[in-house]
Amino acid sequence: MNEQIYDISFRNLVNALVPQVLRKPKMLAVLSALVNPVVHVYNIFFLNNRKSNLYRLMITPQICYIEMALNDKYDHFERRITIKKPKSYNPLFLYKKSENKPLYLYRKIQTDKPNPSLILKGEAGSFQYDFIVQVPETLVFDKNEMRAVLDNYILPEKVHNI
């Protein structure tokens, strides 16, 4: 598409639409004063809205673009927000006492025994996260707002954690 379609020179437009007989300096000054609010609204609202819409359309569900969007919004200078694929763990289920199933947790010094570790629900089994957003502790942000930004850009079936 031709990008010059949105570059409107209102001064040239006023000069072109005024009949040549009426093109006096005072008349052009009055008309440019009348067109000035339209120019202001055009520059502030239309061009800024177009720029933000083009930015939003540029971001796809690819990880690199989502990282770019999060870093642009929350950590513009240092760009420390990263998206990582989570490690997959084999789940170790803890049983209820009523099931009478033994479970032995060993100490770290016993190297010949298995070393089970407790993990979050989303890190094992069928509750696996598709990706984890890593945000530095020093960064101040609203978690719900970041979730909304992520949900705006990612595919609906993707599950994530911050």
Are 44 and 80 within one domain?
Answer: no
Show Cβ contacts of residue 92 under 8 Å, excluding neighbours closer than 6 positions: 116
In a domain, 145, yes or no: yes
Contact 66, 150 (CB under 8 A): yes
pLDDT one-digit tens code per residue, 124-155? 555 578 888 889 988 888 889 999 999 889 88
* Same domain? 112 vs 150: yes
Triad 39, 45, 51: Cα angle to 5°:
115
The residue behind tokens 């008309």 is 31
Choice between 120 and 152, residue whose per-residue pLDDT is larger: 152
3-state secondary structure of 161: strand
DSSP label of 5 = G
Are residues 105 and 126 both part of a single domain?
yes
Please check whether residue 144 lies inside any domain of the structure: yes
Q: When comparing pLDDT for 32 and 118, which is higher?
A: 32
Q: Are residues 140 and 99 in the same domain?
A: yes
* The pLDDT of residue 10 is above 70: yes
Mean pLDDT of 83-92: 71
Residue 10 belongs to a domain = no
136 shares its domain with 95: yes
What tens digit of pLDDT does each residue of 41-81 get?
998 999 899 999 999 999 999 889 999 999 998 988 888 89
